[in-house]
Amino acid sequence: QLTKMIFQERKTNERVELVENFLGQFEFRMTEEMKICREICNEIYEKMGMIRVNQLLAQFPYSRQRLNRIFQTLTNNSIKEFATRIRLRAVLKYRAENVNASLTSIAYRLGYFDQSHFIKELQNSTGLSPSAFLKAHKVFFPQLKDPT
């Protein structure tokens, strides 16, 4: 029934409202681990991925291993992997807003030690060179720009 209604609706916001109304019928309680995971995600987003796991450890009463296990279980990513993805997202966003920025300026702006460190992390995460990565994601640049 819900699926049929979703596909009949033409506007995305109306589809979202249908799903939200449906899900609103169910009681959902966040566990303590979910709250911690949300706090970690918020911190990583706020810092644009430029945060170390050790910095997060000071905020939570868990060992590094336990904190990473909680995060891994709920997100299927380690904290470091997630932070790297958010950082690479920041690279795309920065490049969209600064089309002529060099790789070196991007690297320094987003907290990499140097261009080499940036290239290595990008290749390890995506399997692509920086130019191939930026070219592959160029289609998303308009969506990444902040509205002004």
List, for residues 20-70, the tens digit of each pLDDT value.
888 888 887 889 999 999 999 999 999 999 998 999 998 888 999 999 999
Residue 6, both tokens: 């979703």
Instruction: Report which of 135, 132, 124, 130 is spatially closest to residue 84, judged by C-alpha positions.
Output: 124
DSSP secondary structure letter of residue 76: S
Would the pTM count as exceeding 0.75?
no
